[in-house]
Structure 1
Amino acid sequence: MKILDRYLLKTYLITFISVFVILFFIFILQTVWLFISELAGKDLDLMMVIKFLLFASPKLIPMVLPLTVLLSSIMTFGDLAENYEFAAMKSAGVSFQRTLRPLGVFILLLSLCSFFFANNVIPYAEYKFINFRKNIAQVKPALAIAEGQFSDIGSINIKVDKKSGDKGEFLTGVTIHKKSSLGEGAKTVIRSKKGHLISSEDSDLLQLVLMDGYYYEDITPKNYKDREKMPFAKAFFKKYNINIDLSKLNAKEGEDDEITNTHSMLKISDLKYTVDSLTTDYNKEVISVADNLYQRLGVTNYYQVDSINPKKPKTPELTSFLNNKDKFRVLDVASSDALSSKQNLEMNELNFRAKKKDINSHWYSIYEKFIVAYACIFMFFIGAPLGAIIRKGGLGLPIVFAMLIFISFHFLNTFGKKFSQESGITPFLGACLSSIILTPLAIYLTKVAINDNGGVNFDFITEPFRKISNFFLKFNKQQ
């Protein structure tokens, strides 16, 4: 390796590592903020918090790595251009594309490593993360219950005055409000002096044993006039057992889809196998629903059964021998059957959309693993020539350009993912949308930097910031 190659690689790596650590720390703080309700006020020990963050951190790499490559490339090549090192290299006969060679090899190796990481490490970490959140209550069931305040767990609200024991399993002063399944509020109240939480790592149920308490329940009479009397039942118990579903302890609103899906926890080989199975089941269910509908409507003599695309039906002969009364009765029955079939089709349509979305999500996950690797390449070929063109290093202007490009990249990825999941576009096109749009920009900027023709002018971006800076400098001098 030549001295120039070592110098460029060393300069780039120092910036790359520094930027990666800073960005990774920022995204970790964002993760802590997203799951603050699961970490704060639950007496978690340091080891469990470290495990939580350790399992959550690998899935941040697909966002951190492309931004790191982009920002470090702009900063490194911006510093080289600002300090006239590129001018010195060109005077010595070293072209711009020659300076890209050692860093290009590094980026290529980094892309291969990111693909391996996305295909092997991230699925395993995601599997451990989801199961860790699910089993955290099995290890320490009292984590879901805070002292002195009501905690919402599934169909009950529970408050305890004090917790004791190694795992906080012994409760004192327990108050429980049971929610009504009819949406009429809490009509059942249970109070007990003591309680005991019993759980097992092999079970999905948490048993709450209450001792020495009272059970109150408002009774709703069948007769509407008697409801004004507000009768209720009261009972004393020595021991009362309540079973709680552990899957609801750590569930957050709006996260059911993320918790239940599996595409984020599978490798490419497993994803392909799962997609084949899901597609086969989907086609079989479509045929089954179609056959059932044909038989239900009684049109099997006119339609081709056992086919997703049936033949066009023949027009049946009208029953002209019926009188008007019978005809109205036949029409009424036919209308009722048609309405019932319409409602059945609407329910099946929702079911098919959910299954199709699941299939698209699996396909998207396959392509996404390749896009993570390719993103590092085109981000480098955007950042490196952009830094050489703007001739600015440091943390000022490069951050502005990096954030604008990365926000566009992230928006296109999010849009492509959501649109492809809803079958608006193919999963392949949805995963490649950001690459398709930003790759021509990388080619254009690289061509401009190689030709060094100054054909790119960013004054329309930098001028507002320059004016604001001059205004504050002038204002400070007047003070």
Structure 2
Amino acid sequence: MKILDKYVLKTFLITFATVFVILFFIFILQTVWLFITELAGKDLDVLMIFKFLMFSMPRIIPLVLPLSILLASIMTFGNLAENYEFAAMKSSGISLQRTMRSLIIFIFFLSIVAFLFANNVIPYAEYKFMNFRRNIAQVKPALAIAEGQFNTVGIYTIKVNKKSGENGNILTGITIHKKSNIGDGSRTVIKAKDGELISNEQSNILQLVLNNGYYYEDVIPKKYEDRKKMPFIKSAFQKDIINIDLSKLNSVNPEEQDKTDTKNMLDVSELRYTLDSLHKDLKTEIVTFSENINQKVGIPVQSKSKKSVPKKLLIKNAKVQKDVLAYYTIDEKSSILKNAMSTNDNTLLSINATKTNLDFKQKDINNHEIALYEKFVIAFACYLMFFIGAPLGAIIRKGGLGLPIVFAVLIFISFHFINTFGKRVAQENGMTPFMGAWMSSFILTPLAVLLTYRATNDIGLINIDVIFAPFQKLFQKIFPSKK
């Protein structure tokens, strides 16, 4: 490797590492802010909080890596141009492509690493992250009751309006739903004005002391007509204590793995296998429903034989079906038409319900396909951001953290917005998942080609003369100069 390649690569790596660490720290703070409600007030030790952040870090890489490459490229080549180092290189016969050669090789290997990271590390971290979030509340059930939402603790679902006290154990506005023993939902509702939550780390019993409340319990009589006589049982209490057995919950290990197959937890081979199964399932359901609906409405199934029905017989059957109501009385006609309308309404409801189900399955397929393409998009985005940032830095001839940050943020926001827009439209079947995932890359690739061409040929970012030349000619025609 020549001295020039070492110098350019060293300058880029130092800038890239600094920018990557800063941006990564900023996005980690954003993650902490998003999930602060799940971390605060749960009495979690430092190790569990560290694991929570470690499992959430890999999902940040697809955002931080392209932005870091873009910003580092603009800053590196902007400094070279600002300090007239590019002028010295060009005077020695070294072109921009020759200067970028070592960085192109580095970005190539970095894009491969990005793909492997997105294909292997991110799915595993996503799976661990989702399960760890779900198990935090079970590890600390005494402090797992959040305000303004229902929290499941044992066989009880508890909602409180406000928590107070040193440890948040004083509850106000309590609503409790108790699950039925026979598994048919909740028949018992308990409402209390206030209460206290008492727990002990050495005990498997979580104690709820309720004050000034009511019990409501549905009673299901043997005869249905007796239900109006006994709709529910209501009783009042001044103080009541509920003991919840937490022996099973406290035995939960936060490292316990209960894998849930979602699109973000699968690698390329698993996504392709899942997509194949989803496509087959969708096709089978469409065929099955079409056969069932044809039988229901009386449409004959097409025969495999090549023999066709004679045309005269079809005309005769059509005439018979047209005059079939003439053989019935008015009352019978009314009954037949009502039955036909009822059958038609039921068929339409069945078609609409099936259409909704098929649309949901198609969206699931689209989401899986987008997740598959995204693993390749991140690798291409590394190259794309480099070929935008490096020529742009050479054109604007500004280094440091001023103007380069402005350009980098504008370009990356455009890239991220187009990418998000494309995926949203693809999820709703507005375009193919391939186009939705690659839309941002397809739109910004011409920009990268244009910037590289202009930087190679020493053309500025915007030619002001080309813009103002028509206006200048028009001005001269209106106000001609005097001889």
Taking structure 2 as the reference length, the TM-score comes to 0.77
- Equivalent residues of 1:198, 1:207 under 8 A apart: no
Distance in 1 between residues matched to 2:10 and 2:74, nearest whole Å: 15
Q: Which residue of 2 aligns with 1:295?
A: 295
Residue 220 of structure 1 and its aligned partner are, at CA, apart by 9.4
Cα deviation, residue 290, structure 1: 1.9
Give the drift of 1:325: 2.6
1:7-86 superposed matches below 5 A: 7-86=7-86
Counterpart of 1:153 in structure 2: which amino acid?
Answer: N
Moved more, 279-288 or 111-120: 279-288
The 8 Å contact of residues 42 and 140 in structure 2, kept in 1 or not, is answered as: no
**Which residue matches 2:462?**
456
Match of 2:413 among 400, 407, 414: 407
In the other structure, the counterpart of 1:156 is 158
1:370 to 371, 376, 383: 376
**TM-aligned CA deviation for residue 396 of structure 1:** 1.0
Residues 455 and 397 of structure 1: CA distance in aligned 2, closer, same or farther (over 3 Å)? closer
Task: Give CA-to-partner distance per residue, 1:210-237, whole Å, 9 cap, x none.
Answer: 58988722579999x999xx98314687
Q: Does structure 1 conserve the Cα–Cα contact (< 8 Å) formed by 2:388 and 2:452?
A: yes
Gaps of 5+ in 1: 200-205, 247-258, 307-313, 460-479
CA contact (8 A) 1:196 1:209 kept: yes
Q: Deviations over 1:190-229 (max 9, x none)?
A: 6877756999xxxxxx985658988722579999x999xx
Query: Does residue 412 of structure 2 align to residue 439 of structure 1?
Result: no
Q: 1:151 to 1:339 in 2, by over 3 A?
A: closer
Q: How does 1:271-290 map to 2 (within 5 A)?
A: 271-290=271-290
Judged with a 3 Å threshold, the aligned counterparts in structure 2 of structure 1 residues 189 and 327 are, in CA distance, closer, same or farther, namely same
Distance, in Å, in 2 between the alignment partners of 1:329 and 1:62 is 65
**In the alignment, is the contact (CA less than 8 A) between 2:43 and 2:140 conserved in 1?**
no
Q: How far has the Cα of 1:326 moved from its partner?
A: 1.8
Aligned residue type for 2:426: S
Pick from 175, 178, 195 the counterpart of residue 177 of structure 1. Answer: 175
3-state SS of paired residue (1:49) = helix
Quote the residue 1:321 is aligned against.
Answer: 327
Residues in 1 aligned to 2:138 and 2:439: alpha-carbon distance in whole angstroms:
42
Q: Look up the match of 2:311.
A: none
CA–CA distance in 2 between the matches of 1:410 and 1:329? Answer: 61
Question: 1:458 offset after TM fit, Å?
Answer: 8.5
Deviates more, 1:338-347 or 1:150-159: 150-159
Shift in Å, 1:157:
1.4
Q: Which residue of 2 aligns with 1:122?
A: 122
Contact persistence 2:119–2:267 (CA under 8 A) = yes
**CA separation of 1:362 and 1:231: change in aligned 2, threshold 3 A:** closer
- Aligned pair count reads 419
The change in CA–CA distance for 1:38 and 1:238 in structure 2 (over 3 A counts) is closer
Give the aligned residue type for 1:415: F
The aligned residue for residue 400 of structure 2 is 394
CA distance in 1, matches of 2:463, 2:371: 38
> How many angstroms apart in 1 are the aligned matches of 2:64 and 2:101?
24
Q: Which residue of 1 aligns with 2:353?
A: 347
Deviation of 1:291 after TM superposition, in Å, equals: 2.3
The share of aligned pairs that are identical, in percent, is: 51
User: Structure 1 pair 80/208, CA: closer, same or farther in 2 (3 Å)?
Assistant: same
Structure 1 residue 323: Cα displacement: 2.7
Other-structure match for 2:425: 419
Post-superposition shift, 1:142? Answer: 2.4
The CA distance in 2 between the partners of 1:442 and 1:160, in whole Å, is 55
Q: Which moved more, 1:342-351 or 1:19-28?
A: 342-351
Which shifted more, 355-364 or 236-245?
A: 236-245
Match of residue 235, structure 2, among 224, 233, 236: 233
Question: Displacement of 1:339 after TM fit?
Answer: 1.2
Q: Call closer, same or farther: CA 1:428–1:151 in 2, change over 3 Å.
A: closer
Structure 2 equivalent of residue 331 of structure 1: 337
- 1: CA distance, partners of 2:443 / 2:381: 12
CA distance in 2, matches of 1:367, 1:114: 14
**What's the counterpart of residue 92 of structure 2?**
92
Distance 1:111 1:219 in 2: 62
> Whole-Å Cα distance in 2 between the matches of residues 333 and 243 of structure 1?
56
**Contact map agreement 1:409 1:434 (CA 8 A) in 2:** yes
Confirm or deny: 8 A CA contact 1:172 1:195 kept in the other structure.
no
What residue identity is the alignment partner of 1:188? I
CA distance in 1, matches of 2:246, 2:124: 31
In structure 2, what is the Cα distance between the partners aligned to 1:295 and 1:416?
Answer: 40
Separation (CA, whole Å) in 1 of partners of 2:197 and 2:303? 64
Distance 1:288 1:15 in 2: 60
- Residue 409 of structure 1, CA deviation: 0.5
Alpha carbons of 1:193 and 1:456: their partners in 2 closer, same or farther (altered >3 Å)?
A: closer
Structure 1 contact 174–195 (Cα < 8 Å) conserved: no
Q: Which moved more, 1:190-199 or 1:37-46?
A: 190-199
Pair 98,271 (structure 1): closer, same or farther in 2 beyond 3 Å = same
Following superposition, the deviation at residue 63 of structure 1 comes to 0.7
Instruction: Indicate if the aligned counterparts of 2:419 and 2:436 stay in contact, CA closer than 8 A.
Output: yes
Residues 376 and 239 of structure 1: CA distance in aligned 2, closer, same or farther (over 3 Å): closer
Q: Distance in 2 between matches of 1:83 and 1:212?
A: 74
| Structure 2 CA distance for aligned equivalents of residues 393 and 65 of structure 1 | 20
- Tell me, what secondary structure is at the counterpart of 1:392? coil
Q: Distance in 2 between matches of 1:447 and 1:410?
A: 24
Label 1:288 to 1:83 Cα distance change in 2 as closer, same or farther (>3 A).
same
* Shift of residue 282, structure 1, vs aligned partner: 1.3
Instruction: Give the C-alpha shift of residue 288 in structure 1.
Output: 2.1
Report the alpha carbon displacement of residue 43 of structure 1 after superposing the two structures with TM: 1.8
Q: Give deviations 1:430-458, integer Å, cap 9, x for gaps.
A: 11101111111101110111111336348
Could you tell me how far apart the structure 2 residues matched to 1:16 and 1:404 are? 19
Aligned partner of 1:78: which letter?
Answer: G
Q: How large is the Cα RMSD of the aligned pairs?
A: 3.9
**Match status 1:189 vs 2:182:** no
Matches within 5 A, 1:261-280: 262-280=262-280
